[in-house]
Amino acid sequence: MKEFIKNHRFVLICLLTLWVKTFIVSTFIFQVSTADMLETVIFILNPLSFILILFSFGLLMKPGVQRWYLFICTLLLSIVLYSNAVYFREFTDIITLPMLVMGGNAGDLSTSVFELIQWYDVLFFLDILVFAVLLWKKPALLTVTQLPLRKNKKVYGGLIGAALVVIGLSQLDQPENPETMTHTFDREGLIQRYGLYNFYVYDAVIHTRTAAQAIFSEEDEWNDINEHRAAYRALPNSEMHGIARDKNVVVISLESIESFVIGETAGGEEITPYLNELIEESYYFPNFYDQTGQGKTSDAEFMINNSLYPVGRGAVFHTHSENEYTSLPNTLRRAGYETVSFHANDRTFYNRDVMYENLGYDYYYSGSYFDITEENSVGWGLKDIDFFRQSMDYVEELSEPFYATFLTLTNHFPYELDEEDHFIDPLDSESEILSRYIPTVRYTDEAVRLFMEDMKEAGLYEDTVFVMYGDHYGIAESHNDAMGEFLGKDIDPYENVQLARVPLIIHIPGQEGEEVETISGKVDVMPTLLNLLGIPEHPRVMFGSDLFAQFRENFVVLRNGDIVTDEYMYTANTCYERGSKQIVHEEACSPIRDRGEWELFYSDSIIFGDLIRFRDVDDM
């Protein structure tokens, strides 16, 4: 053993440092927890299986080449580890292979990376710096020895065998429904079960399988899907049917606005004074949850326009933009609407130029249609007030009725805003992100108010239905301590799901409105709008239900598999009794958990298999 250590010092040091770094990051940054001794052992050993196999190839190489192979492998795995650690700080998620395909369009990280980097991040690469110096100055200290396969079959057999044993152990704790598990993105479960590096092997397998699914899909797959949808479908509210017939529809995506700001104050001032006022004469849904995945804003658009769930890995706007869909814009265009979208960003961002055309938008007013300067821009681009004002020039030229969607930008991480645009002072908080979030939310609120005034002046207000929704969360879990202090409560897993609520406001001029307590999500918006406009649901493919339906179930499944009903909440592998927040036996949540898994599975099957192509879309 001493001789082996002496001859393979560099391999063992690289293995040990990577193993320790991965364990520390997985435990303290990814916050992976284990329930029993077996899970703990699997979690600790999992990184070894991948590293052992990878480093085994290096042992076949000559010493001069082997040193650099080990150094480069250690560097690359450290980069993978660090990239995920930085990404996790804001998005509480892991980078998947489809996100890498998105490249520069996945700007959620790239444009805000400096906000996420910390001074102590140099520790991620401290070992790399030491190795580089030693390789340059004293390579003899980093001993390596070539082990030809022909003479060392037992050594390689032992290494590969040890790796396979670890991988085998990870299979002892498989989920009850392994088929549906691949259609959810249980970050903690996957990292705990496979380890970060093996996760990418798993992800590659899933990516290959789903990419090929459309080739092998068949029309009879609709049988099970239709049976599932029929079991939970609620008939639309007949009294609300057609009350907004032939009216224009304006849908506003409120970037990163969460429900906790609605009706809340900071420094004695309302954070959203206009939205608070608008809610008094609108239909407001306080239990409307964020169901987006890694596609964030584009996922929200996808759900609003299709009533399908987004995919669990990457953004469906990138992965399946060529599919056939029974979308809302296509439906309204065939009903005589002019369909347009306004977003002051590059038209190719998140592949919107391709996806919008496929969804049925007649025009896409992207960044080139706006006068964007340094003076009227901040953070991600054109300020919301200028965005709405410039958009009105095009809105007034639209043929009525029209369907227009607007994507705001100012309230985007990292929440930058010039001081002269503050309508409220920043929050006094230990989190700079939360402190800056309050003024940008208030700015967007003011921008919406001015836009509504412009719609009135243009004579379009009375004949328009306005839908406003928060596209996704704004404050990441990493700021939960500051959030808890601001809200005056501890942010436990239960409250964390409650913070996934985003506002949904449906304003129909002339209607008094009311607060609707139903538990819902973005997949429910399309069937609701269709009913209000007097357009039958059938034969469109939708997983949501009319929000005003008399017998609709209080049920929502988030893209990560969390579930909320009127009785229970299932999150972090724990079943809570809703209201009392008491933890109850997991079996109480089994029916809703199974339903949620199959709900995501069937929606993904439609997308991955491009199953709508088997239906006569023209007749729809």
Q: Give catalytic residues, as residue numbers.
A: 297
469: left (phi over 0), alpha (psi -120 to 50) or beta: beta
CA 147 to chain CA centroid, nearest Å:
46
Could you identify the residue written with the tokens 């719609």? Answer: 455
Residue 150's alpha-carbon distances to 61, 144, 156, 157, in angstroms, are: 13, 18, 10, 12
For residues 250 and 304, give the distance between their C-alpha atoms in angstroms, rounded to a whole number: 12
Residue 65 one-letter amino acid: V
Q: Using N-to-C axis directions, what is the helix angle for 37-58 and 187-194, rounded to 10°?
A: 60
Could you identify the residue written with the tokens 């057609």? Answer: 242
Tokens of 135: 């390789």
Residue 509, SS3? coil
Which residues lie below 8 Å from residue 476, measured CB to CB, with a gap of 6+? 89, 90, 91, 92, 433
83 burial level (CB within 10 Å; 0-12, 13-18, 19+) = middle
Could you identify the residue written with the tokens 């002046």? Answer: 457
User: On the CB side of 579, how many CA atoms lie within 13 Å of its CA?
Assistant: 4
Q: Where is 576: in which H helix or E strand?
A: strand 574-577
Tokens of 29: 């940054």
Residue 162 one-letter amino acid: A
Residue 567 one-letter amino acid: E
- Specify whether the CB–CB gap between 248 and 400 falls below 8 A: yes
Pick the closest to residue 416 from 18, 160, 112 (CA basis).
Answer: 112
Residue 496, SS3? helix
Residue 585, SS3? coil
To 10 degrees, the CA torsion angle through 539, 545, 549, 554? 160
Q: Using N-to-C axis directions, what is the helix angle for 37-58 and 196-216, rounded to 10°?
A: 90
CA 548 to chain CA centroid, nearest Å:
27
Could you identify the residue written with the tokens 């030229």? Answer: 397
Residue 427, SS3? coil
- Specify whether the CB–CB gap between 18 and 77 falls below 8 A: yes
